[in-house]
Chains A and B, each alone.
Chain A
Amino acid sequence: MEKKKELQVAALENGTAIDHIPADQLFKVVSLLEIEHLKTRVTIGYNLDSKKMGKKGIIKISDKFFEQDEINRISLIAPTVNLNIIRDYEVVEKKQVSLPDEMCGIVKCNNPKCITNNEPMQTRFQVIDKENVTLKCHYCEVKIKKEDIELK
């Protein structure tokens, strides 16, 4: 007889399940999506077993449905996540994240002489290469490669 599989995180009635989050990025995802400010029920799974990824993170949020540009905020750190939109215990829609053309207030400019590091203001980057992930600061025009990207 097949061994009964234990459900790792409780099922969701209505809301969004974000699956396949790289485990080491889980808490950054939480903070970028501002989940700590939500008033609804949230289940966060950390270091769960995953066939695909080894260890993964999962976030289940009741009664919350993200706009696409909200969810694209995490595309830099967790490009492979799956979003399952759940209504009445059924997955009614699956979403992927994609890099937006512009990112505001997420990435830190790594030029210390950039105005954004010296004024109380939002950063703003154009994504100039989506394939290799290269950003260009809207203000000082410095280009930042994927491996040098630092979040605010």
Chain B
Amino acid sequence: MNKKSLVSIADYSKEDILRLIGIAEKFEKNPNRRLLEGKVCATLFFEPSTRTRLSFETAVNRLGGRIIGFSDASTTSSSKGETLKDTIMMVSNYADLIIMRHYLEGAACYASEVTNVPIINAGDGANQHPSQTMLDIYSIFKTQGRLENLEITMVGDLKYGRTVHSLITGMSHFNPVFHFVAPEELKIPDLYKNFCDKKGIKYYEYTDFSDEVINRSDIIYMTRVQRERFTDLMEYEKVKNVYILRNNMLSGSKDNLRILHPLPRVNEIAYDVDCNPKAYYIEQARNGVFARQAIICDVLGIEVK
């Protein structure tokens, strides 16, 4: 991997995360800075992802950079059978930075090995999506005023949810207590429990989304329970309404509690929660632009004053 690229949240140390939060704060105060003047950024989306692409492109635009790229690989030469390596090397001739989303796992890591142009991974299959994690961590920092010693509850699909896994990795530097709320079939994998054990991080597992766990939480991180994840549809029918957050469940919660969700949501957060000041998921997406501006400047080695 070339040194500058961002492939996985595990590439970042605690100091890196704190530094990036500092940069993101500067962009939040003043998002329009022409730091990418004269630079061309490629957004290569081999798999469509409107939200992530718009967020990155907004970040580049606010930094005064220009954008080339595609949002659907079916219109590109990869549909003619061109290898990823060739596409990346070709684009490297044109662009100063490559932001890529790919449906195959490990694609961004491989891309970073075949070019000297920095790569930002905007999602590789079910594997990594580090800019999402940075914006999640930035949102936690903004709403809590700190990252250390927080009680973080994760709800829903903890087995396949890559945002959950990356957030565990990213927050592991800050002595959190995790509460994992999931149906039996979508429990947090042993791998992540072992990771927490090794790092001395406390965690608790539940199948009930109870008031008790809600009332302890500083952050509730909701995720979608997808029907297609279940081998036993009876099981899905049983649990599909158990992990829905409704406004009346928040009556005894802490004042500083904020509810996060990587979006898109389907029904796991009831609409009556939207008016609650503890709902933070829409602003969370707004933070994505600042977090991505910070990441872009960081990989390009641009100092932000």
Contacts and interface: CB of A to CB of B under 8 A. Distances in A.
A29 B206 CA distance: 48
Interface in B92-149: 102-107, 109-110, 124-128
Interface string B1-43: 0000000100000000000000000000000000000000000
A115 B83 contact: no
B191 interface: yes
Contacts, number: 49
Contacts of B124: 115, 140
Contact of A119 (B85, B103, B128): B85
Q: Is the interface of B mostly helix, strand, loop or mixed?
A: mixed
A87 interface: no
Interface in A89-139: 111, 113-116, 118-121, 137-139
B106 A141 contact: yes
Nearest to B125: A113
B109 A113 contact: no
B113 to A, nearest CB: 9
Interface of B: 8, 83-85, 102-107, 109-110, 124-128, 191
A143 interface: yes
Contacts of A138: 106, 109
B207 to A, nearest CB: 26
Interface residues of A, number: 16
A25 B125 CA distance: 35
Contacts of A114: 104-106
19 contacts: A111-B105, A113-B126, A114-B104, A115-B109, A116-B106, A116-B110, A118-B104, A119-B110, A121-B85, A121-B110, A137-B106, A138-B106, A139-B106, A139-B107, A140-B105, A140-B124, A141-B106, A141-B127, A143-B191
A139 B102 CA distance: 13
Interface of A: 111, 113-116, 118-121, 137-143
A115 B191 contact: no
Nearest to A142: B105
Nearest to A116: B106
B202 to A, nearest CB: 24
A115 B121 CA distance: 14
Contact of B104 (A115, A141, A142): A115
A148 to B, nearest CB: 15
Contacts of B109: 115, 138-139
